[in-house]
């Protein structure tokens, strides 16, 4: 039985997924400084390898929990099915590499734009000749709401909404939600337009926890499921095992 453990430690949450072959059998959040992973391995004794992507630290804490499990730590030196052209290779986020790998698996040897709408919004281009070209980073929705609350005297802290957004608002919360969410929406639309002018037949993937607030608002995009990142990690681990 082929079972593997994939771990994604983000800026705000740590998550894991257990794969049996290519299917996820369990996925959840966990606390890296608890014994959550140790208990998980007791439930899945057939797990014999894993991979960790981290932008939020806590890698050593995870390794202590998993004991002697063979674990690949994803970074810029990891073998990938595409070429990194990023100038500062050691500084690129492991999460971006995993997302690009997941998109590559679905559209190999094609022009791809991966937009991750999380704590930050990242844009990653993978060209049809399999070169990762990087892309901009901007504040995510939650960061924009938090910044306006913390750097003003009176503006409240808001959350994104799935209600209709208006450009004529009659309440403070509505004004903040429309400003942030419509701002993010039009930012993303413009980036897609600019990239589409440069890269023919562009495939656009939208991932990240806040992509639910963009659904039905962007045309010709693939909205990634919650297991998108984990599939990328699984693919990278398998790619390294086969080298």
CA distances from 225 to 26, 51, 99, 116, 184 (A): 15, 20, 12, 12, 20
Q: How far apart are CA 132 and CA 112, in angstroms?
A: 9
Q: Which residues contact residue 8 at a Cβ distance below 8 angstroms, ignoring those fewer than 6 apart? A: 14, 15, 16, 53, 54, 95, 98, 229, 230, 233
CA distances from 179 to 139, 144, 165, 183 (A): 13, 10, 9, 6
| 95 tagged catalytic | yes
CA distances from 147 to 10, 175, 176, 180 (A): 20, 15, 11, 11
95, 116, 124, 210: which is the annotated catalytic residue?
Answer: 95
Tokens matching residue 9:
């430690």
Catalytic residue IDs: 95
């Amino acid at each position: 039985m082929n079972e593997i453990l994939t771990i994604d430690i983000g800026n705000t949450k740590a998550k894991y997924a257990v794969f049996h072959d290519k299917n996820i059998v369990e996925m959840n959040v966990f606390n890296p400084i608890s014994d959550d992973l140790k208990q998980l391995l007791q439930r899945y004794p057939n797990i014999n390898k894993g991979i960790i992507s981290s932008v939020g630290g806590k890698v050593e804490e995870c390794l202590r929990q998993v004991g002697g499990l063979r674990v690949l730590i994803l970074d810029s030196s990891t073998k990938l099915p595409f070429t990194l052209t990023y100038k500062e290779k050691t500084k690129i986020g492991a999460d971006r590499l995993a997302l690009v790998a997941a998109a590559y698996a679905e559209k190999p040897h094609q022009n791809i734009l991966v937009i991750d709408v999380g704590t930050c919004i990242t844009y990653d281009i993978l060209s049809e000749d399999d070169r990762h070209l990087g892309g901009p980073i901007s504040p995510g929705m939650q960061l924009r709401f938090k910044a306006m609350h913390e750097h003003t005297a009176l503006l409240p802290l808001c959350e994104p909404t799935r209600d209709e957004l208006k450009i004529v608002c009659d309440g403070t919360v509505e004004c903040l939600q429309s400003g942030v969410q419509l701002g993010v929406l039009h930012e993303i639309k413009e980036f897609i337009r600019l990239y589409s002018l440069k890269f023919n037949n562009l495939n656009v993937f939208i991932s990240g926890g806040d992509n639910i607030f963009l659904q039905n608002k962007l045309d010709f995009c693939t909205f990634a499921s919650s297991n998108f990142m984990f599939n990328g990690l699984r693919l990278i681990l398998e790619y390294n095992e086969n080298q």
